[in-house]
Amino acid sequence: MSVTAGIHPVREALRAGRPLDKVVIAEGAAGPRLQEIIALCRERGVPVRFEPREALDRLSKTAAHQGVLAFGSAHQYADLLDIPDARLLVVLDGVEDPHNLGAIIRTAYAAGADAVVVPERRNAPLTEVVARAAAGALEHLPIVRVTNIAQTLQQLKKTGFWIYGLDERGPELYDQVTFNTPTALVFGAEGRGLRPNVQTHCDALVRIPIHGAVSSLNVSVAAGITLFEWRRRQ
């Protein structure tokens, strides 16, 4: 059973209709946002329990739950076949930091992406930390898990996708490259970036110009810059 912590993630899980076994609220916690959660639970028939805040600390293993926890089935991965007519996919070549993964999911949803594609191995799982960093977007944006990123890019190209990989040594600038659609934007792992066998499947390698001695940006920041440049073009 998975645990979702925090007002916004729990509210979005309820809004999205995710199956939940119960919602636990800290005794004495109040406010309009918690009242909204209670009302949503009543609408959907989800039991609400009130327990001491210390109990929520133990159940969530963190004090950052904002006085509310939801218990239910783990987030389900989607299949690429479930996402017809996609115009923008975000592909991650092994993002292992859950905060980065959550931030990218949040940004991808805000920019209008149709799904985020992640590999089975060497990628952060969809944990409570990811859900909190995604601030509710995890409940609305499909996350597709694939066996092999390079093979998936090859398959996407056969269906008409244009593949753009973010690389600090890419010959084209993110704000000058032509983004053909449907588009797949590929971001590499923290530290090593895109693997060579993934780069070979990209139609273009794109970089964000950096001022000063820092060679690259955090992957979630780079994703945000590139995604909203794509959105601006539309």
Give the pLDDT confidence of 93-143 residue by residue, as tens digits. 989 999 999 999 999 999 999 999 999 888 888 887 888 899 889 889 999
Peptide bond into 119 cis (omega under 30): no
Q: What confidence tier does 62 reach under pLDDT thresholds 50, 70, 90?
A: low
Say whether pLDDT at 17 is over 80: yes
b/e per residue, 198-227, with b = 16+ CB within 10 A?
Answer: bbebbebbbbbeeeeeeebeebbebbbebb
- Residue at token pair 């092994």: 94
96 and 184 belong to one structural domain:
yes
* pLDDT tens column, 66-99: 999 999 866 778 899 889 899 999 999 989 999 9
pLDDT band for position 204 (50/70/90)?
very high
Same domain, yes or no: 102 and 188: yes
Same domain, 127 and 48: no
pLDDT of residue 201: 96
Residues 195 and 126 in one domain: yes
Which residue has better confidence, 212 or 101? 101
Where residue 152 sits, what CATH number does that domain have?
A: 3.40.1280.10
Q: How confident is the model at residue 42 (pLDDT cuts 50, 70, 90)?
A: very high
In the chain, how many domains are there?
Answer: 2
Residues 6+ apart with CB under 8 A from 148: 119
Q: Write down the pLDDT at residue 122.
A: 83
Same domain for 106 and 214, yes or no, is yes
**Spatial contact of 28 and 86, defined as CB atoms under 8 Å apart:** no
User: Which of 72, 107, 125 delimits the end of a domain?
Assistant: 72
Which of 72, 106, 127 is the C-terminal boundary of a domain? 72
**Mean pLDDT over the full length of the chain:** 91
The dihedral formed by the CA atoms of 2, 52, 63 and 105, expressed in degrees to the nearest 10: 40
| Residues 65 and 89 placed together within one structural domain of the fold | no
Does one domain contain both 86 and 191? yes
Q: Residue 35: which CATH number?
A: 3.30.1330.30
Residue reference for tokens 């990218």: 104
In this predicted structure, what is the pLDDT of residue 128? 77
Q: What is the pLDDT of residue 233?
A: 92
What integer pLDDT is reported at residue 2 of this predicted model?
80
Same domain? For 36 and 88 the reply is no
- Assess whether 56 and 101 both reside in one domain: no
- Mean pLDDT, residues 56-73 taken together: 84
Tokens of 89: 């996919």
pLDDT at 230: 97
Whether residues 213 and 192 fall in one domain: yes
Specify whether 54 is located in the same domain as 91: no
User: Domain check: are 97 and 208 in the same one?
Assistant: yes
DSSP letter string over 82-96?
A: G-TT-SEEEEEE---
Is residue 1 predicted with pLDDT exceeding 80?
no
Sheet of strand 2-5: strand arrangement: 2-5, 68-72, 20-26, 48-51
Range of the domain at 199: 80-233
> pTM for the complete prediction?
0.78
Angle formed by the axes of helices 98-111 and 219-233, to 10°? 10
Residue 223 has pLDDT above 70, yes or no: yes
Q: Is the pLDDT of residue 60 over 80?
A: yes
Among 42, 72, 102, give the residue marking a domain's end: 72
